[in-house]
Structure 1
Amino acid sequence: MSDEPDGVPKLSVPVGMFEDIEDIKAQLARLTAVVAAHTGGAGAEPGKAPAEEEAETGEPVEEAEGEEEAQFPPFILLLDSTQYDDELRALIEWVEGVLVPGYLAEPSADARWCHLWVEHNVAIARLHAVWLAWQELTDPATCGYTGPSVWHRDHLDPALRELRSSSGPFAGCTKGDHQIAHRLPSLVPSAWSHGDGT
């Protein structure tokens, strides 16, 4: 016997609808946090930034106790040398541990790769941006279940097209004479092994 009252139509819920709802909830939570960070948090008057409130009242708007200032991802090429080194080490670990083994096939004239990619600032900047997006979009708490798909479509694929194109930063890294004495390897070796003489 059903607890439903008589006359209530039976609805068929499509498979995946609950995942879609969870994705929407996660996106809403993320957007709410972004809006709160830009508008001064929950205590601010809707539609007014803290600077506008200060101009109206003449008093500085105090931040909520314990609330940290919003942190934005660093642009690696603008970091000071110590921060740059730390960020580059973490990026190398991700590129060599995730990207190279999982996504880079045999290099060719149409899909270049330089095992000394860390010597190319353009490659560092693009790969760092892809890595930051990967950190956010592979966390279901912030992006739901569609994050990895979005990461592939919007971040990885365009970056690899640019990096590996014949006019990309690895254009001089081919067999024979070229600008920076790199060669196109027969395999995709690790940047880790290059530094130790292997």
Structure 2
Amino acid sequence: MTQVAQPETDETGGSDTPPQQPAGDGQKKPFFILYLNGEEYFAELRQLAFWVDHLLIPVYGKEVTSSAPWCPRWREHPEAIAQLHGLWLAWQSLTGPNAEVTGPAQWHRDYLGMIMDALRNPSGPFAGCKPGSHREVARPPVADDGFLDP
């Protein structure tokens, strides 16, 4: 059986609810990493990296092949960060101490496979990466035609 490092709750955000950020009306709402900036972004990314590197990949990472790539520098792929952050938020909500007993099964059924399949798809964010090699994915160009200018 694989032994997984048991991180501190504050490192993994392993509470029963996703991290919260105050909304404008005083209510709290879950936040998404792509909405964060500066130190707030990097603090969240460090917590996500701890969860990915010490729980997700040791338990659920399968062999890297050309048909199922993985990049050890996943933190340099914005799409991977976004997908993994969503997966981690779902993990926190469905596996924390106050989660329903069926929460872990729901996380496996509804989130894990779909996200990992998208990330490890040969045309996904790690398409150009090979073991020992990292390459950014070429993104489609966006027109700079002034449409969004005020």
TM-score, L = length of structure 2: 0.69
Equivalent residue for 1:157, pick from 108, 113, 117: 113
Matched, 1:129 2:129: no
Matched, 1:104 2:61: yes
TM-score, L = length of structure 1: 0.53
Q: Letter of the aligned partner of 1:104 in structure 2?
A: G
For residues 143-193 of structure 1, what are the alpha-carbon distances to aligned partners after superposition, in whole Å with 9 as ceiling and x for unaligned? Answer: 31110011111111100010000110000102699844xxxxxxxxxxxxx
Q: Name the larger-Rg structure.
A: 1
More helix by share: 1
* 8 Å CA contact retained: 1:77, 1:125: yes
Q: Letter of the aligned partner of 2:116 in structure 1?
A: L
Specify the alignment match of 2:21 in structure 1.
none
Specify the alignment match of 2:72 in structure 1.
115
Cα RMSD for the two superposed structures = 2.5
Q: Aligned pair in 2 of structure 1 residues 176, 117: CA closer, same or farther (>3 Å)?
A: closer
SS at match of 2:110: helix
Residue 100 of structure 1 and its aligned partner are, at CA, apart by 1.0
* 8 Å CA contact retained: 2:90, 2:111: yes
Residue 139 of structure 1 and its aligned partner are, at CA, apart by 2.1
Equivalent residue for 1:171, pick from 120, 124, 127: 127
Specify the alignment match of 1:80 in structure 2.
37
Alpha-carbon distance in structure 1 between the residues aligned to 2:108 and 2:83: 14
SS at match of 1:145: coil
Matched, 1:146 2:125: no
Identical-residue share of aligned pairs (%): 48
Structure 2: where are the runs of 5+ without partners? 1-24, 137-150
Alpha-carbon distance in structure 1 between the residues aligned to 2:134 and 2:50: 28
Q: Letter of the aligned partner of 2:94 in structure 1?
A: L
**Paired residue total:** 114
Specify the alignment match of 1:8 in structure 2.
none
Alpha-carbon distance in structure 2 between the residues aligned to 1:139 and 1:99: 15
SS at match of 1:158: helix
Specify the alignment match of 1:95 in structure 2.
52
Alpha-carbon distance in structure 1 between the residues aligned to 2:132 and 2:88: 32
SS at match of 1:72: strand
Q: Aligned pair in 2 of structure 1 residues 110, 137: CA closer, same or farther (>3 Å)?
A: same
Q: Aligned pair in 2 of structure 1 residues 80, 151: CA closer, same or farther (>3 Å)?
A: same
Alpha-carbon distance in structure 2 between the residues aligned to 1:128 and 1:178: 21
